Amino acid sequence: MASAPNPPTASDLAQSDAIGTGGQASDGLRHSSPPAEWIQLIKDCRDAFDHVVHMRPVQSQLCESEQVILNRFREQHGLKSFTGCTLDEILEADKSRDSAAHSLEKLKVADLRKRVADLKLPDNADDHIRAYIDSDFNLLRMLRARNLDLDKAFRLLEGAIAWRGHARPHEMKCASCVSTIERCLKSPKLLYADECCSDMRFIGYDPAHRPVLYCSFRHTKHRGVQQTIEHTCAALERAVAVMHKGSPGDVIVVNNFNGFSFSDLNPLVGVRAIQVFSDYYPETLKMMIVVDPPRIFWPLFHRILKPLLAKETAAKALFLDSRTADGGRAVLAEHFFDDMADWLVHRIRLDH
């Protein structure tokens, strides 16, 4: 295999065949070795976004240190925020559909935009909710999630807006995390890494600049329905904040199941998680890498969760066995730069 090019710049991303290829980077971007400055900045981002190490609560807003390192990363590589991209820019970066499909999508987005005026906004609608409605990409997500059916897409948008008015995901800050931090500061014997509500966090990008999130059951103390939903939504809000112009606009989640036990078999957690992705963040998940699911997980998955998933959604799950000789690295290297694959192998071993 030929050596891979440098990580794509904003200009490269707008033309790269790695965008929109079903979750896989083109061969030219697999098993790559990015330049040292790229690797170092990714490591800096990974460290800055590690709320467990820095004893910060799970929250949807980026803190100052996170925003600073993200800005530095973008400046050095000529990248711009995904927020504010025009529909033409989004479709231009999407290589998974041809020009005819894009033309139809533009017409459908225009039709749905006309119906947005009929939306009943929540009483507490703020600039964030209005910006969400004004985003053509959010309308495109709704349409794609409902196979371009205008009526179904409008109902999906209505539900998402009503939920945002009630749940306020852009303002989420875990109260349990705050109280846990206070307890850990008062008692040196308590380690936040062992007590934190969730370790779901941004750890870098795949070759197409999709944000990658990592979480583990081992370091997720609070696994109830409400806490799981809050933590997941906060992480997805943050993922949108770190997306770059030219990115496909979706995310990859690596979910380490080491630590999953009988107490985690509550089907409502999985059912609500599916609802979050399908109803409130449609077309946001590109791939879920499920690491080492135990034997007790499979009845729950096959009997309850999988029947709730569309065929296309179920195909987004990749089950990874880290107990192989290489810790699953060969599989991870098919989707990530070498630095990311190595970090994940190491992190998964630590979280066994």
Residue ranges of the domains in the chain? 10-19+27-79+197-350, 87-169
Return phi, psi of residue 291, to 5°.
-95, 125
Give me the amino acid identity at 281. Answer: Y
Q: For the structural domain made of 87-169, what CATH number should be given?
A: 1.10.8
Name every residue whose Cβ is closer than 8 Å to that of residue 290 and which is 6 or more positions away in sequence: 255, 257, 317, 318, 319, 320
In which band, very low, low, confident or very high, does the pLDDT at 124 lie, cut at 50, 70 and 90? confident
Residue 222: pLDDT band (50, 70, 90) is confident
Q: Which pLDDT belongs to residue 197?
A: 87
Task: Please write the tens of the pLDDT for every residue from 32-58.
Answer: 566 777 788 899 999 999 999 999 999
Average pLDDT over every residue of 276-284? 94
Whole-number pLDDT of residue 36: 78
The mean-pLDDT minimum among 5-19, 22-36, 287-301 falls in: 5-19
Residue 340 backbone phi and psi in degrees, to 5: -65, -45
Helices (H), 210-280: 225-241, 267-275
d(CA 233, CA 60): 8
Rounded average pLDDT over 123-151: 93
Nearest-CA neighbor of 328 among 289, 297, 287? Answer: 289
d(CA 293, CA 282): 25
Helices 64-77 and 36-48 pack at an angle, to 10 degrees, of 160
Looking at this protein, which amino acid is placed at residue 284? T
CA–CA distance, 63 with 82 (Å, rounded to integer):
19
Choice among 157-166, 174-183, 340-349 with the minimum mean pLDDT: 174-183
Supply the CATH classification number for the domain 10-19+27-79+197-350: 3.40.525.10
Q: Mean pLDDT, to the nearest integer, of 112-131?
A: 88
pLDDT reading at 4 higher than 80: no
Model pTM above 0.85: yes
What are 339's two structure tokens?
Answer: 């630095």
Q: Please say if the pLDDT value at position 28 is more than 50.
A: no
Spatial contact of 345 and 329, defined as CB atoms under 8 Å apart: yes
318-336: average pLDDT: 95
State the Cα–Cα distance between residues 91 and 107, nearest whole angstrom: 12
**Residue 206, pLDDT score:** 92
- pLDDT above 60: residue 270: yes
User: Which residues lie across from 315 on neighbouring strands?
Assistant: none
pLDDT of residue 123: 84
Helix (H) / strand (E) element for 291: namely strand 285-291
Determine the average pLDDT of the residues in 58-67.
95
Q: Residues 259-274: what's their mean pLDDT?
A: 92
Residue type, 214: Y
pLDDT band at 194, cuts 50/70/90?
confident
Highest mean pLDDT among 1-10, 116-125, 329-338: 329-338
Q: What is the mean pLDDT of residues 18-44?
A: 56
How far, in Å, CA of 263 to CA of 246, rounded? 41
Confidence of residue 122 (pLDDT cuts 50, 70, 90): confident
- E strands in 143-242: 201-205, 211-216
